[in-house]
């Protein structure tokens, strides 16, 4: 029996993965974007968009593509993807981003703090974040390199599945930014870990 864990709306959760485990991230209600980071268990190696873009030769990543670390280790391979579009350009949202872009005063839930807290619960000191992998978020590069964010196209129950290529710590955040979620308030995400030896869901 695979346990389904909830990432609370605008909150975060962490999980340790053994090599070969599959991490299935689900959007239970549809239309919700999230942030994903992955670290080596000693915290010294983390996802790198620059390394991944280089080795993939592209910025849009889906089934069959590998997410690489800043030290050229394969971290996660996308082995199934109901959605097909995710973003690896935008940094995780932060308090400062809400101050600047949304005019928020005081604290606002944000992916960076959610990811940091989830990693620390796993015993991993996050240090300076690399740019996160933004689940289900769609940012198009258009004329002149301009970026256009579109609402996620994921429907209720859609999922993306990653295979861990090493033992890793991962953290997931349900993005609180309405701009990434088609203007809707944040909703929960969910995830399951399918052990290496178990058949695919």
Backbone angles phi and psi of 76, in degrees to 5: -135, 140
Contacts (CB under 8 A) with its own copies, residues 85-124: 89-92, 94, 96-97, 100-101
Instruction: Write each residue from 58 to 77 as x if it is in contact with its own copies (CB under 8 A), else as -, in one continuous string.
Output: xxx---------xxx-----
What number of residues does the chain have? 201
Out of 64, 120, 125, 147, the residue judged to bind its own copies by CB under 8 A = 147
Given the DSSP bridges, would you call strands 168-174 and 34-40 parallel, antiparallel or unpaired?
Answer: antiparallel
Pick the stretch among 137-145, 156-164, 165-173, 191-199 that binds its own copies (CB under 8 A). 137-145
In terms of phi and psi (left: phi > 0; alpha: psi -120 to 50; beta: otherwise), the region of 132 is beta
31 is written with which tokens?
């239309």
Out of 29, 30, 53, 192, the residue judged to bind its own copies by CB under 8 A = 53
Which helix (H) or strand (E) element contains residue 114?
A: helix 111-121
Contacts with its own copies, residue ranges (CB under 8 A):
44-46, 48-51, 53-55, 57-60, 70-72, 89-92, 94, 96-97, 100-101, 127-132, 141, 144-147
């Amino acid at each position: 029996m695979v346990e389904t864990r909830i990432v609370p709306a605008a909150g975060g959760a962490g999980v340790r993965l053994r090599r070969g485990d599959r991490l299935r991230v689900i959007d239970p209600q549809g239309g919700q974007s999230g942030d994903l980071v992955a670290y080596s268990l000693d915290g010294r190696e983390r996802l790198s968009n620059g390394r991944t873009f280089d080795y993939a030769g592209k910025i849009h990543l889906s089934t069959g593509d590998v997410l690489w670390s800043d030290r050229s280790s394969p971290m996660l391979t996308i082995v199934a993807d109901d959605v097909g579009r995710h973003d690896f350009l935008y940094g995780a949202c932060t308090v400062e981003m809400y101050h600047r872009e949304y005019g928020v005063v005081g604290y606002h839930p944000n992916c960076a703090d959610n990811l940091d807290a989830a990693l620390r619960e796993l015993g991993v000191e996050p240090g300076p974040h690399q740019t996160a992998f933004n689940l289900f978020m769609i940012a198009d590069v258009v004329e002149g390199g301009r970026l256009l964010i579109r609402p996620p196209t994921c429907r209720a129950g859609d999922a993306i599945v990653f295979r861990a290529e090493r033992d890793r710590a991962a953290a997931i955040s349900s993005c609180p930014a309405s701009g990434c979620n088609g203007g809707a308030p944040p909703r929960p995400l969910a995830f399951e870990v399918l052990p290496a030896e178990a058949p695919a869901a």
